[in-house]
Structure 1
Amino acid sequence: MVATGTMLIAYLKHICGMFSIASFRIKKAMAINMQHDVNEEKMIIIYKGIICAIDIHRKATEFSQVFIKSFEGSFFCFIAASMVCLTSTLVQIITYNSTEQLVLQLIHISVLYIYVFLSNYTAQDITDHNEYVFATVYNVEWYVAPLHIQKMMLFLLQKGTKAFHLILGGIFVASMESAAMLISTSISYFTFLYSTSMK
């Protein structure tokens, strides 16, 4: 579980790095534009920088979609299994009288909560890095660039209006809000099971 989770986080961090490189390339290309003596050679460098940034951004989004699609069934099973494990472990904690068993179950539930938190945090990090790319496009002084570059930048700004999220298992948008929802849902199921078993 730890090895698989670590490998998945490494891949997702790689995607974050690709988004950061795209942001850096846009900043660097537009910094050339701020110089007063922009000739045709520098315009070609600006074009190449922006095109390279767009290409890296496209590859990062495609890689993340292919990555998530490859593990779609696994993620769906993992979400369902983690909900069942969290709920049943919470029910078991109430029924145990032994301190050793209680500590073991608390460690088990803590590991599950950390796993849910880390996976959703990493997915939220990807969403934030993607939004940072478009914040970078918005914050550079694209409006003083030549008309052809302005059109390219407006295309990027328009693309940034569409939200980008990782959807796990085809139904679950991975984010910090979703992690909180999973945790509160497991507690709600536990309360329901506990209240029905007490009757």
Structure 2
Amino acid sequence: MICLETQYFNLNRILLLAIGLWPYKQSNFTRLQFILLSTILTTSLIFQCTPFISHKCTSDFIVKILSTASFFALFVIKYNMFSVNIKAVKDLLEQLQLICNELKDKNEFAIINEYGCSARRCTAALTICGICSLFAFFVAQFWSSILDKILSINVSESHHLPIPMEYFIDQEKYSYWILLHFNVSFCIGATAMVGIGATLIAYSQHTCGMFKIASYRIKDAMSNNMLQNINLENKFLIYEGLILAVDIHRQAMKLSELLVYKIEKMLFCLIIIGVVCLSLNLFLIFQIASYGDDIKEILFPFVFVTVCILYMFIANYIAQDLTDHNNDHFATVYDVQWHEAPLHIQKMILFMLQKGAKDFTVGVSGLFVGSLECFATLVKTSVSYFTVIYSTQ
């Protein structure tokens, strides 16, 4: 008996519980927790946009504001995307658990365990990356103070926000509270990005495991031992094996498509804003490096660019992995010794080959098809927009 929550989603559960988004624990306290954290995250984004009201909007100023605000917009969209669809995510995880409960063969348990361990490693790796990003984020804020302490430079202490923000209060007087609000919102957003992303990766990895099990069932049903001794019992076992293979393959495709369907609109927004964020921060890095501005200011856009590229790559790699596993299943059906089977079994195999001839892809709004090629296209588009912005300066 496999328990996904305790065996493979344990770290995901901890991360999502911390921000009130674990689907199985939705109490009144959790809802209050979500409202509080969502308010902190959303108001941080709002206060990053309010300088447009109180300052003169030059092109450089707009780029500087939007480069950070677009990154925090990714946090807000990601956080609310999961909360709005939390019941759907719970239903999908329960369906995945039911499928795992139906596994009987020890080899099938071994396959799902392999992919579950892979999901657990991915979650741990993403968590480490998230911690490193937080560390870099905090170092970037206090870099000047750290250098002054190391070099023993005596300067009058002044409190400056790491990015332009307007709270319409005395920001020098309340600087510690403003910094606290800003840093807490970043921690919430980073935890949401890691926790939600890792959960979707774990879900996809188990779906890939289902594709692998479907291939295993095909091989097992069409093994040489079965085909060399065709009798009534073996025919029944072949039929049963093929039916079970088709069933779990169909469920794997259904679960993949349902997940994307539920969050399709939010994913579309994430892609668009992610490209904008990457373009603006690339421009900011190039501008700082070219014009000899304070090199410390490059740390924030560098962190944002790194996170955007990493997230784009992982999302498209997972979609590519699903497509590859489906193609592997099709190749398995093609490679078995189906020509040695009785005619009626050959017809079933030919039907499966016809079904597999159509590519299975994970797409968003019919415009973006998740793949490594799509990742390259998004990065290329971001660089193109960066070039356009730079050419207008």
TM band (smaller chain): over 0.9
Residue aligning to 2:41: none
Match of 2:311 among 111, 115, 122: 115
Q: Deviations over 1:131-177 (max 9, x none)?
A: 01110000011011011110100000111111111012442101000
Whether 1:160 aligns to 2:384 is: no
Query: What is the TM-score with the length of structure 2 in the denominator?
Result: 0.49
Match of 1:8 among 200, 225, 231: 200
* CA contact 1:32–1:42 (8 Å) conserved in 2: no
Distance 1:100 1:169 in 2: 40
TM-align CA RMSD = 1.2
* CA contact 2:260–2:364 (8 Å) conserved in 1: yes
Distance 2:220 2:367 in 1: 38
Question: 1:98 deviation in Å?
Answer: 2.0
Distance 1:156 1:65 in 2: 19
Which structure is higher in RCO with an 8 Å CA cutoff and minimum separation 6? 1
Q: Which has the larger radius of gyration?
A: 2
Question: 1:34 deviation in Å?
Answer: 4.7
Greater shift, 24-33 or 187-196, is seen at 24-33
Residue aligning to 2:287: 95
Match of 1:180 among 348, 370, 376: 376
* CA contact 2:226–2:234 (8 Å) conserved in 1: no
> What SS does structure 2 have at the residue aligned with 1:165?
coil
Distance 2:262 2:250 in 1: 18
> Gapped runs of 5+ residues in structure 1?
none
* CA contact 1:127–1:165 (8 Å) conserved in 2: yes
Distance 2:234 2:377 in 1: 50
Question: 1:14 deviation in Å?
Answer: 1.4
Question: 1:103 deviation in Å?
Answer: 2.5
Greater shift, 123-132 or 165-174, is seen at 165-174
Distance 1:125 1:153 in 2: 24
Residue aligning to 1:140: 336
Distance 2:351 2:336 in 1: 14
Count of residue correspondences:
197
Question: 1:105 deviation in Å?
Answer: 1.6
Distance 2:196 2:296 in 1: 28
Distance 2:218 2:253 in 1: 17
> Gapped runs of 5+ residues in structure 2?
1-192
Distance 1:36 1:30 in 2: 10
Q: Match for 1:56: what amino acid?
A: I
Q: What percentage of residue pairs aligned between the two structures are identical?
A: 48
* CA contact 1:33–1:145 (8 Å) conserved in 2: no
Runs of 4+ deviating beyond 4 Å: 32-35
* CA contact 1:76–1:170 (8 Å) conserved in 2: no
Q: Deviations over 1:91-145 (max 9, x none)?
A: 1112322222213321220111010001000100000000011100000110110
* CA contact 1:138–1:157 (8 Å) conserved in 2: yes
